Amino acid sequence: MATWLITGCSTGLGRALAQTVLAQGHNAVVTARDVTAVQDITADFTDTALALPLDVTDKAQIRSAVQQAQERFGGIDVLVNNAGYGYRSAVEEADDGDIRQLFDTNFFGAVDLIKAVLPDMRAKRAGSILNISSIGARISPAGSGYYAATKAALEGLSGSLYKELEPLGIHVTAIEPGAFRTDFAGRSLTQSSTPIPDYAETAGKRRKEHDTVHGTQPGDPVKAAEAIISVVESPNPPSLLVLGEDAFGAFAAVADHQRAELDAWRELSVSTGIDA
Confirm whether 128 is a catalytic residue. no
**Which residue in the list 151, 158, 162, 199 is annotated as catalytic?**
151
**What is the pairing mode between strands 127-132 and 170-177?**
parallel
CA 211 to chain CA mean position, Å: 22
User: Which residue type is seen at 51?
Assistant: A
Confirm whether 147 is a catalytic residue. yes
Provide the sign of the torsion angle of the four alpha carbons 34, 35, 39, 41, taken in this order. Answer: positive
**Which residue in the list 10, 89, 128, 133 is annotated as catalytic?**
133
**19 Rama class: left (phi>0) / alpha (psi -120 to 50) / beta:** alpha
- Of residues 8, 244, 238, the one with CA closest to residue 128: 238
Beta strands, E only, the chain:
3-6, 27-32, 49-53, 78-81, 86-88, 127-132, 170-177, 189-191, 240-243
**Which residue in the list 87, 147, 162, 199 is annotated as catalytic?**
147
Confirm whether 205 is a catalytic residue. no
Catalytic residue numbers?
133, 147, 151
